[in-house]
């Protein structure tokens, strides 16, 4: 990281996916912020005082069958989440990077909402890890 960047603002991401889960944007934003807290490279700060900002939009959530067994029974499903993220250096007033990230999580079919939420949680865990890595080691 450049020495002039010590803090980061991570505002609540937007959800333009049309997926319909009202908790998704909050869960994603909280996990992303927690990644930075745990990493300790950039300290979370308020948008008005931060050296940098990481903004994002959930653009797509797709839930499709991935394993089909005999009799056309779906055994496993995959939920794929795509986010568009932008990282900006507020000190130098420049965009450092802007890109899409896509990750997935599998879950057993027929397990209901709890199983699907576990698949989404796996996708979000992978996404937040990828975004943290891009932010702190993409220099």
Distances from the Cα of 58 to the Cαs of 64, 73, 111, in angstroms? Answer: 18, 30, 25
Q: Each residue of 109-138: b (16+ CB within 10 Å) or e?
A: beeeeeebbbbbebbbebbbbbbbebbbee
Give the other-Cβ count within 10 Å of 2's Cβ. 12
Contact indicator for 52, 90 with CB cutoff of 8 Å = yes
Q: What is the pLDDT of residues 27-77, one digit of tens each?
A: 999 999 999 999 999 999 999 999 999 999 999 999 998 887 777 778 899
Sorted by where each begins, the domain ranges of the chain are 7-137
Q: Are 54 and 9 spatial neighbours (Cβ–Cβ below 8 Å)? A: yes
Q: pTM (2 decimals)?
A: 0.92
What's the Cα-to-Cα distance from 19 to each of 23, 62, 109, 113, rounded to whole Å? 11, 8, 18, 13
DSSP letter (8 states) at residue 76: E
pLDDT of 84-135, one tens digit each? Answer: 999 999 999 999 999 999 999 999 988 778 899 999 999 999 999 999 999 9
Task: Compute the distance between CA of residue 44 and CA of residue 41 in angstroms, rounded to an integer.
Answer: 10
CATH number of 7-137: 3.30.160.150
Cα separation, 9 vs 69, in Å, equals 46
C-beta of residue 44 within 8 angstroms of C-beta of residue 88: no
């Amino acid at each position: 990281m450049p020495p002039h960047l010590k803090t980061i603002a991570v505002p609540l991401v937007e959800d333009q996916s049309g997926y319909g889960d009202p908790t998704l944007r909050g869960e994603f934003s909280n996990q992303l912020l927690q990644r930075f807290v745990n990493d300790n490279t950039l300290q979370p700060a308020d948008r008005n005082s931060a050296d940098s900002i990481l903004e994002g939009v959930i653009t797509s959530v797709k839930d499709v069958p991935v394993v089909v067994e005999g009799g056309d029974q779906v055994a496993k499903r995959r939920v794929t989440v795509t986010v568009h993220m932008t990282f900006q250096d507020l000190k130098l007033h420049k965009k450092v990077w802007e890109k899409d990230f896509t990750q997935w999580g599998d879950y057993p079919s027929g397990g209901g909402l709890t199983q699907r939420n576990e698949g989404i949680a796996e996708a979000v865990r992978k996404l937040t890890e990828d975004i943290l890595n891009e932010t702190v080691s993409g220099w």
